[in-house]
Amino acid sequence: MSFMDEKIARIINEAEQSMAPRSILAGPVKIGDRYYEFTPQTFFEDKLSVYFPRDFVDLPEHLRKVKYPYEQRPEIIKSDEPGSVDFSLKRIDHDLEDELVEELTTGMKAMIQRMNPTHVFYESGIEEVGDKPIGFFEFKSTVTNNRKTLYSENKIRDISSKERNSSKRAARGEIPARFS
């Protein structure tokens, strides 16, 4: 009898998951065991707009130094309360010609791979948003002090123009599968 109950519970759970919003624009989205509500925030003199979880806050300085031990750490680091999930942004003050985005993306990924070959890399490529290329690559690394895994998604794009920028996946409100 319990076998049938387990089967029914599994079917109900699958149905609930298939009906849950998968877009950060449609309302709270379940990621792991909790729900996140995303809101747009602007950075770099309103040249970049990014949807971040509403309850993420600026990571305190003492934790920035632990999680990002190098001197050129990102100037914007948003984190959840326990500090287990971070979003970071780093501005490089150089104009970037569209035709160099792919070369810079490939070069930065190769440099990070050489610096630490233990990083696990996922997707990489070029997206077109508003006729502008955005280079991206994703990887996970281990933070040495506390042995936690840190997921990084790097985007490379010129934001010297006044237009607001976002990625195609973020604009569609998609959540990468590894976070579902």
Integer Cα distance of 70 and 76 in angstroms: 15
140 vs 11, higher pLDDT: 140
pLDDT reported for residue 84 = 73
The string over 91-114, giving b where at least 16 C-beta atoms fall within 10 Å of a residue's C-beta and e elsewhere, is eeeeebeeeebeebbeeebeebee
Q: Give pLDDT tens digits for 81-97.
A: 877 777 888 777 777 88
pLDDT reported for residue 115 = 83
- Is residue 56 within 8 Å of residue 45, measured between CB atoms? no
CATH code of domain 21-179: 3.40.1000
Q: Give pLDDT tens digits for 60-119.
A: 888 888 777 777 788 888 888 877 777 888 777 777 888 888 998 898 889 888 888 888
Beta strands 86-89; 120-129: pairing state: unpaired
- Is residue 123 within 8 Å of residue 138, measured between CB atoms? yes
Q: How confident is the model at residue 144 (pLDDT cuts 50, 70, 90)?
A: low
Name the nearest CA neighbour of 53 among 75, 22, 86, 90.
86
* Angle in degrees, CA 176, 135, 164, rounded to 5: 85
- DSSP code string of 58-120: EPPHHHHHHHS-STT--SEEEE-TTS--EEEE----S---GGGHHHHHHHHHHHHHHH-TTPE
Q: Give pLDDT tens digits for 2-11.
A: 576 677 677 7
Q: How confident is the model at residue 48 (pLDDT cuts 50, 70, 90)?
A: confident
Integer Cα distance of 139 and 124 in angstroms: 9
Mean of pLDDT values over 20-24? 67
Mean of pLDDT values over 5-32? 71
Residues paired with residue 26 on neighbouring β-strands, in sequence order = none
pLDDT reported for residue 162 = 43
Region of poorest pLDDT, from 82-86, 126-130, 176-180: 176-180
Report field, pTM of the whole predicted structure over 0.85:
no
Name the nearest CA neighbour of 148 among 89, 74, 83.
83
User: Which two three-digit tokens encode residue 84?
Assistant: 């287990």
User: Is the pLDDT at 174 greater than 60, yes or no?
Assistant: no
Q: So where are the chain's domains?
A: 21-179
Q: Who's near 30: CB < 8 A, 6+ residues apart?
A: 20, 36, 180
pLDDT reported for residue 175 = 47
